[in-house]
Amino acid sequence: MKNKFYQYIQNLQNQITSKLEKVDGVAKFREDIWERPEGGGGRTRIIENGAVFEKGGVNISAVHGKLPDTMQKLFNVGEADFFACGLSLVIHPKNPMVPTVHANWRYFEMYDDNGNVINSWFGGGQDLTPYYLFEEDGKHFHQTCKTACDKHNSEFYPKYKKQCDTYFWNAHRNEARGLGGLFFDYCKANDEMSMEDWYNFVTEVGNSFLEAYVPIVERRKDLPYTEAQRTWQEIRRGRYVEFNLVHDKGTLFGLKTNGRIESILMSLPPHVQWVYDHKPEEGSEEEKLIKVLQHPKDWI
């Protein structure tokens, strides 16, 4: 399974970076191949200063070795060997009318002293973070997520949509990071789903990503915007940074397992502002977004 999924994310990385380069029309992804001293490595691809994308990364990694102490405590296990692989992406467009997007699909295994798999699971999801609210974009993104889920289980979309709203909640701000999407973790074999079934589901979601995001980018990338709207985008990006550094498990996992810092922090946008006690004007488009972030809604 680990070899099968790693092959899948290598191919998916190629598909996504190729498509995003075409959408941008100017910038190309820079590739870094790196190795982790404790075992494994990855392939980082970064796009910067494009016509459409100000900064973004589409990264894959496959790491293995002894489970670090911090992870032993998290999983409530003793010493064990592990393998983890996944694709993680964050795209920050230049135009504030185009939303930021994040996605991640991952697989994890733990082994006993004889190298037998004693635990394995899938996780992942995809979510949208706009700076200005276009209802049709939220509906399109969520409908694409629901269509992918419904091919496997009609209960998945409402369940994983709710988990996404709960997970991407900036508790210290009492607001969502964005409009949500899907979030699932610890997807293990059970009476209803084998690991093969979970693989089919996770890859279905992965394959839906470009369909979920690219049409939104195409609709919004050429819209005019003002300097004030750009400032609002940078203030909202600050909230994105706060979530990733304070709450995000993936970021913390990477930092605690001696992950590659440049790859982990590629999720941070290049231009950000923190303005003291900033509040949007009453009745403005900016306030309209905040109200939705404070009370996540059903998009379908």
Residues 259 and 42: beta-carbon distance below 8 Å: no
Amino acid code (one letter) for 76: N
80-92 per-position pLDDT tens digit: 889 999 999 999 9
Residue 30 pairs in a beta bridge with 46
User: Which CATH number characterizes residue 113's domain?
Assistant: 3.40.1500.10
Mean pLDDT rounded to a whole number for the chain: 94
Low-confidence ranges of the chain (pLDDT < 70): none
Residue 300 forms part of a structural domain: no
Q: CA-to-CA distance for 46 and 50, rounded, in angstroms?
A: 11
Other CB atoms within 10 A of residue 281 CB: 8
- The answer to whether residue 41 sits within a structural domain is yes
pLDDT at residue number 58 = 98
Domain membership of residue 299 (yes or no) is no
Is 139 inside a domain boundary? yes
Q: Is residue 271 in a domain?
A: yes
**Assigned domain for 65 exists:** yes
167-196 burial string, b = 16+ CB within 10 Å, else e?
A: bbbbeeeebbbbbbbbbbeebeeeeebebe
For 228, other C-beta atoms within 10 Å of its C-beta total 10
How large a percentage of the chain has pLDDT more than 70?
100
**pLDDT at residue 259, as a whole number:** 75
pLDDT on residue 230: 98
Q: Coil, helix or strand for 234?
A: helix
What was the pLDDT predicted at 209? 98
Helix (H) / strand (E) element for 197: namely helix 195-220
Nearest to 187 by CA among 10, 50, 5, 49: 5
Dihedral through CA 22, CA 206, CA 93, CA 215, nearest 10? 60
Q: How many domains does the chain have?
A: 1
Give pLDDT, residue 187.
97
Q: Of these residues, 102, 247, 278, 295, which one is catalytic?
A: 102
Supply the pLDDT for residue 206: 98
| Phi, then psi, of 112 in degrees rounded to 5 | -85, -175
Catalytic annotation on 271? no
State the chain's maximal CA–CA distance in angstroms: 63
Q: Quick one: pLDDT at residue 256?
A: 75
Q: Whole domain around residue 280: which residue ranges?
A: 2-294
Burial classification of residue 85, based on how many CB atoms lie within 10 Å of its CB (0-12 exposed, 13-18 middle, 19 or more buried): buried
